[in-house]
Amino acid sequence: MRSILKAAIENGKKITMNGKVATYIPELAKGDRDALGVCIFDTDCNIILEGDFNTKFTIQSVSKVIILICALIDNGKDVVFSKVGKEPSADPFNSLVKLEMKETHKPSNPFINAGAIVCTSLVAGDNGIEQFSRILDMMKRLSNNSHIEVNYSVYDSEKLTGNTNRAMAYYLKGANIIQKDVEDVLDAYFKCCSVEVVVEDIARIASVIANNGVAPWSNERIIPEDVNRIVKALMMTCGLYDKSGEFCIEVGIPGKSGVGGCIMAVVPNRMGIAVVGPSLDVYGNSIGGGKVLEDLSRELHLSMF
Amino acid sequence: MRSILKAAIENGKKITMNGKVATYIPELAKGDRDALGVCIFDTDCNIILEGDFNTKFTIQSVSKVIILICALIDNGKDVVFSKVGKEPSADPFNSLVKLEMKETHKPSNPFINAGAIVCTSLVAGDNGIEQFSRILDMMKRLSNNSHIEVNYSVYDSEKLTGNTNRAMAYYLKGANIIQKDVEDVLDAYFKCCSVEVVVEDIARIASVIANNGVAPWSNERIIPEDVNRIVKALMMTCGLYDKSGEFCIEVGIPGKSGVGGCIMAVVPNRMGIAVVGPSLDVYGNSIGGGKVLEDLSRELHLSMF
Amino acid sequence: MRSILKAAIENGKKITMNGKVATYIPELAKGDRDALGVCIFDTDCNIILEGDFNTKFTIQSVSKVIILICALIDNGKDVVFSKVGKEPSADPFNSLVKLEMKETHKPSNPFINAGAIVCTSLVAGDNGIEQFSRILDMMKRLSNNSHIEVNYSVYDSEKLTGNTNRAMAYYLKGANIIQKDVEDVLDAYFKCCSVEVVVEDIARIASVIANNGVAPWSNERIIPEDVNRIVKALMMTCGLYDKSGEFCIEVGIPGKSGVGGCIMAVVPNRMGIAVVGPSLDVYGNSIGGGKVLEDLSRELHLSMF
Amino acid sequence: MRSILKAAIENGKKITMNGKVATYIPELAKGDRDALGVCIFDTDCNIILEGDFNTKFTIQSVSKVIILICALIDNGKDVVFSKVGKEPSADPFNSLVKLEMKETHKPSNPFINAGAIVCTSLVAGDNGIEQFSRILDMMKRLSNNSHIEVNYSVYDSEKLTGNTNRAMAYYLKGANIIQKDVEDVLDAYFKCCSVEVVVEDIARIASVIANNGVAPWSNERIIPEDVNRIVKALMMTCGLYDKSGEFCIEVGIPGKSGVGGCIMAVVPNRMGIAVVGPSLDVYGNSIGGGKVLEDLSRELHLSMF
């Protein structure tokens, strides 16, 4: 197992120079392009770490999974899916076109920015501070790490440059899909994206999902079973933006990527995996991380297909 | 002449019930659906008023003409048209799709909302208050009426419900087309839309444009000649949203409509015309006002074609 | 098992009146709206039939799976995916918009019409007759039924009314993605759609895919392993048009629907399932068939999530 | 006058190298990039020729004006505008997107390809041959030249490479906007585009339109007055593709361009102008020809604004 991971990391490092660190948020541009780390946390609580596993990174869009979990627990699936769709979108993550062309104005799914902003607005709490606090608490429980926190430099950077997200949020407010105060919702959303973690944190979150919503370390149920099923299914169809279909073919398990360079992957009933590598392909997915997961899928027979 | 106007108003009144008063801004919904008034102000300073010419209304999108005049005077056409196009758009006035699909992200023209917001951001002034003050001053000079003012109920209503405009403005900020503070620019824009006038004010503004930029009552040049030419040309191709082409065929002169129910029309070298009738067609143009202009165009041979 | 199927059929029959039989092809309009049948064929060659399992129907878009299999075998995945994408599309099955907006002009995936037409053009054969013969032969082997044939009334109807498909094909020819003669390719495609089958045929095809490409009845490998994996993954993300995401959540297995009323579903390593019910939802999927599969998924624990 | 024309041609020749001869139809690629010729034919039958006025070229999209004239005469405006819009489109001339997004599926206007194909289908005649014969006859009368004919090399080239037009036509057939046989309609359309002319032919056609539909050389009315008015108005708003708005500002008269390098321009009550220069800008308009018309507009005060 360890040698497979070592080889996968080595292979992945060969192509990190083909991608680019995210620059649209200035603070992200400081990421180390050539870093590449991986953590596997299985449902028997075995952990393996390899490569640059100490690399700190912000969770970015991987937080969309935890936001969705909170929104579903707090509202039920009927309410959530009355305001956001369940269908993959072949448009870039920050597209407005689809919002306007669909008669309902609903975002296509919870894993594009517009959909995640809607889900954030649905999380329980009287205001953005309470809503973020609820989501952060869920992240802590799912990762069994009470120390994770917002990276405020990244948060400031997100907030300053988040005008396309702001545009989407006001559009959704105008279409009556977001009821709460837009700036407040965005503030919570930007904080979610800016939470700083390491691969072990994300692998543990993935292991809970792999374990049908029950934390392997405590046997405590954190995610209700039907919520957990929905989350896995949506990760399978919509988890890697415009590359979700290819990931489904080449890796074949539910995944979710973020522009901080992380990809979280769930192997049902077996393990959670997290890779980090800030060098991204044109779709915004970690280029080295994707390669590592392809190798692991092949060597460890992870594909569900 | 007077009998032609009387007949046109009478004809127009027959179809006002086929349209609807604008409701997307609650304050506008109070408009009188059946009102219909007209004013002709010719380049020899003759004035004719007919129908409900005392109806007060907010200028709404007709202000886009004055905003463009200020933007062009303050920046020159090269700067203005580096940030907004000159081409008609076949999309609704508040569409975001075009912004995203065009590689430049430039709004199609200055007479759709996105384009007018960009033009507002270009008007001289250190902040939104100064910029609005400059535009209002221009409206006063062009109408020879120093008493026109903002209707603050409408302004509050616009501001409260203007989330689609806000979405566009933040999108344009994100695309670096608007440099100034978005809320400040929007505040000026919402005030421009909320200026309250009567048809004589608008007919006088139109008469200056018809008179090549020189006020008929003072022979003072207010609009530079080349700016005036650009404004007339854009009114011809883009003045009535998705009905610009039909207006060009059926009326055949430069025009600009607003959802307050006004249509301003310019008969080059002859006269300015303003009609008001708050009942709108599906495109947002005064339904009775359009009919009046069709009748006048035919009876007075106004068409340039 | 049999009682579960009986109950599922009964449940499904309650909602067939909420859908509509396809009418865009006149011949399809003759389908019996209230028919509902199911067949399960497992990898040990057990077969269960329930409901209106004798209903004959045309295979329609379910044929896209077999077309893709042939195209992949005959060309390899690199050639196929240079001409058609792997990503879900949130547009209707017959949309042209995506073709034009994407710079490559490639159809999003092999399971929308445009993508299936491209795959048809890639199947081995000197002309449309040979290409169709190759695909029909594959259908016969996969269903272990050498008697299946084209319903020529449906074929004539498809051909006569297939102008949107014709439009797409000529567009793809213009974009140099289809090299062969358009009418010839379309002729083969229309024939594929018009092949007449019963649920047992489709359940057998599904059982081969469930059995990793090997026919359960002969242990003969018909589909290469990597082709079989690609097919399952694409069925998961793109198999039910604009309802693929919901199907993935509610049923949770690879599926493919057709407007003839059939849904083919694959339970990896366990069984193939086919349902038929000509009453369709707005997306073009069998409304009763979808319900049957939801019930079976829940009762038989079929979901992969 | 002659010296103004000489100077304009000289100025125009300086920028022909900034454009490109159309290549999408192979036969057009043979055009001489640096040729530039002009003809003015006024309503008193004075004619001035300058530059490469003997250059032969195919009429291409300038024929859309004559097709529209025939369609309007043969059907009346109500029928024509029930199948094609009157509004400018900000999309490229060969776009399919608009057809699909608009609920009516009507092409935006008669001067984009889709619209012109619809108009061709409406021209009187039992088949494509008769329809083309009617249109060619109209071209001959309007140009007072009974010798103009199809260039069959260009026609063959158009036909062979016209798959995007074919796609649009089949789409419109599928949407029931075209009733006649698609290949037959396209054949007539391709022939219309391939008619070979010189600038004098086009300047004469323009002079009839400038003269309100009456041939200056015979005082015979060829175009009914209301048809003539519609044609001028549509040329103003939609005549130069995505550059119509700019042409309206910079030249200010009704115009129509074609990828053969011709621009036809109408100065109401004064003259018809035709320029030819095969070097095109990115929108498909003659780059040198546009410059010549800008210069002439300024020097001869042609703008209507």
Q: What percent of chain D has pLDDT over 90?
A: 86
| Those residues with Cβ within 8 angstroms of residue C183's Cβ, 6 or more apart along the chain or in another chain | none
* Chains touching A by CB (3 or more pairs below 8 Å): B, C
For residue B104, what pLDDT is reported?
Answer: 76
Q: What are phi and psi of C57, to 5 degrees?
A: -150, 160
Q: How confident is the model at residue A94 (pLDDT cuts 50, 70, 90)?
A: low
Report the C-alpha gap between D194 and D63 in whole angstroms.
9
Q: Given D91, D236, D305, which is nearest B248 (Cβ)? A: D236
Average pLDDT along chain A:
94
Shortest Cα distance, chain C CAs vs residue D49, angstroms: 39
pLDDT the model gives residue B160: 87
Q: Residue B291: how many CB atoms within 10 A of its CB?
A: 23
CA distance A271 to A40: 7
pLDDT at A23: 83
Annotated catalytic residue B3: no
Across chain B, mean pLDDT equals: 94
Say yes or no to pLDDT of C92 above 80.
no
Q: What is the 3-state secondary structure (H, E, C) of A119-188?
A: HHHHCCCCCHHHHHHHHHHHHHHHHCCCCCEECHHHHHHHHHHCHHHHHHHHHHHHCCCCCCCHHHHHHH
CA distance D57 to chain C (A): 24
Q: pLDDT tens, B133-155?
A: 999 999 999 999 999 999 999 99
Distance from the D154 Cα atom to the nearest Cα atom in chain B, whole angstroms: 31
In order, the DSSP letters of B29-55 are GGS-TT--EEEEEETT--EEEEESTT-
Q: How many CB atoms lie within 10 A of CB B18?
A: 11
pLDDT digits (tens, 9 = 90+) for A57-92: 999 999 999 999 999 999 999 999 999 999 987 666
Using the 8-state DSSP alphabet, how is residue C162 labeled?
Answer: -
Q: What is the nearest CA distance from A176 to chain B, expressed in angstroms? A: 10
pLDDT tier, C160 (very low <50, low <70, confident <90, very high otherwise): confident
User: Does A170 contact chain B (CB < 8 Å)?
Assistant: yes
- pLDDT of B92 reads 64
At A197, is the secondary structure helix, strand, or coil?
Answer: strand
For residue D19, list its beta bridge partners: none
Find the range with the poorest average confidence among A50-54, A271-275, C113-117, D240-244: D240-244
Looking at the DSSP assignment, which residues form a beta bridge with residue B49? B39
pLDDT classification of D30: cutoffs 50, 70, 90: confident
- Annotated catalytic residue, options B180, B189, B197, B256: B189
Q: Cα C193 from chain centroid? A: 9
**What span, in angstroms and rounded, lies between the C-alpha atoms of C236 and A251?**
13
Percent of chain D with pLDDT over 70: 96
C97 contact D CB<8A = yes
Predicted pLDDT at D94: 66
Note the pLDDT of residue B98: 65
D97–C101 C-beta distance less than 8 A: yes
Residue with tokens 């009315």: D221
C301 touches chain D (CB under 8 A): no
Q: Determine the Cα–Cα distance for residues C158 and B23; give it in Å rounded to an integer.
A: 46
Q: What is the pLDDT of residues C31-54, one digit of tens each?
A: 888 999 999 999 999 999 999 999
Q: Which residues of D touch C92 (CB under 8 A)?
A: none
Q: Please give the pLDDT value at position B202.
A: 98
Continuous segment of H or E residues that includes residue A228: helix A225-238
Using an 8 Å CB-CB cutoff, list chain B residues near A163: 170-171, 173-174, 182
Give C-chain residues touching A305 at CB under 8 angstroms: 229, 232-233, 236, 254, 268
Residue D270 has pLDDT above 70, yes or no: yes
C96 touches chain D (CB under 8 A): yes
Which pLDDT does position B101 carry in this prediction? 64
Nearest to A279 by CA among A26, A29, A10: A29
**What is the chain C residue with the closest CA to A237?**
C237
| pLDDT, tens only, C267-294 | 999 999 999 999 999 999 999 999 999 9
ipTM: 0.93
Angle between helices B199-210 and B128-143 (to 10 degrees): 80
> Which residues lie closer than 8 Å to D294 by C-beta, 6 or more apart?
D250, D251
The question of whether B189 is a catalytic residue gets the answer yes
Reading the block at residue D113, the tokens are: 């390809």
Chain D, residues 256-285, CB within 8 A of chain B, namely 268
Give chain B positions within 8 Å (CB) of A169.
Answer: 167
* DSSP alpha helix (H) spans, chain B: 2-13, 63-83, 97-101, 113-122, 128-143, 152-161, 163-174, 182-193, 199-210, 225-238, 244-250, 287-299
Residue C101 pLDDT greater than 80, yes or no: no
Q: Which two tokens stand for residue C195?
A: 């092949």
**Chain D: touching chains (3 or more CB pairs < 8 Å):** B, C
Distance CA A220, CA C193 (A): 51
Q: What is the pLDDT of residues A169-191, one digit of tens each?
A: 999 999 999 999 999 999 999 99
pLDDT by 10s per residue, chain B, length 305: 899 999 999 999 999 999 999 887 778 888 888 999 999 999 999 999 999 999 999 999 999 999 999 999 999 999 999 999 999 876 666 676 667 666 678 999 999 999 999 999 999 999 999 999 999 999 999 999 999 999 999 999 999 889 999 999 999 999 999 999 999 999 999 999 999 999 999 999 999 999 999 999 999 999 999 999 999 999 999 999 889 999 999 999 999 999 999 999 999 999 999 999 999 999 999 999 999 999 999 999 999 99
Q: Is D286 helix (H, G, I), strand (E, B) or coil?
A: strand
Residues contacting residue A87 through CB under 8 Å, at least 6 positions apart:
A108, A109, A237, A238, C88, C90, C242, C243, C244, C245, C246
Q: What is the mean pLDDT of residues C15-20?
A: 92
Structure tokens at B74: 């303050």
Query: Which residues make Cβ contacts (< 8 Å) with residue C246, sequence separation at least 6?
Result: A86, A87, C240
Active-site residue list of D: 61, 64, 189, 241, 259
Residue numbers in D near B229 (CB within 8 A): 249, 252, 303, 305
pLDDT in the model for residue D101? 65
Size (chain D), residues:
305
CA of A54, closest CA in chain B: separation in Å? 34
Q: Which pLDDT score, from 0 to 100, does residue D49 have? A: 98
- Put simply, whether C90 touches A (Cβ < 8 Å) is yes
Per-residue pLDDT tens for A243-260? 999 999 999 999 999 999
Set of chain A residues whose Cβ sits within 8 Å of the Cβ of C242? 87
Q: Which residues contact C268 (CB under 8 A, 6 or more apart)?
A: A304, A305, C210, C212, C232, C253, C254, C304
- Pairwise CA distance, residues A100 & B167, whole Å: 12
Neighboring chain D residues of C113 at a CB cutoff of 8 Å: none
pLDDT score recorded for residue A206: 98
At B191-218, the pLDDT tens digits run 999 999 999 999 999 999 999 999 999 9
Cα of first residue to Cα of last residue in chain A, in angstroms, is 22
Q: Using a CB-CB distance cutoff of 8 angstroms, which residues of chain A are in contact with residue C265?
A: none
Q: What is the pLDDT of residue A215?
A: 98
Q: What is residue A261's DSSP assignment? A: S
Residue of A13, A62, A63, A64 with catalytic role: A64
pTM (2 d.p.): 0.92
From the candidates C21, C38, C61, C256, which is the catalytic residue?
C61
Q: Concatenated DSSP letters for D19-68? A: SEE--SSGGGGGS-TT--EEEEEETT--EEEEESTT--EE-GGGHHHHHH
pLDDT value at position D268?
97
The residue from C89, C241, C267, C279 that is catalytic is: C241
Q: Which amino acid is at D103?
A: E
A89 touches chain C (CB under 8 A): yes
Of D161, D164, D182, the CB nearest to C171: D164
Give the gap in angstroms from C-alpha D17 to the nearest C-alpha of chain B.
Answer: 23
Which of C249, C232, C259 lies closest to C293, judged by CA? C249
CA A181 to each of CA A121, A169, C138, C237, D40: distance values in angstroms, whole numbers, following the listed order: 9, 10, 58, 35, 63
Please give the order of strands across the beta sheet that includes C195-197. C57-58, C195-197, C149-150
Asked if A129 has any chain C CB less than 8 Å from its own CB, the reply is no
B167 part of contact set with chain A, CB < 8 Å: yes
pLDDT at D55 over 70: yes
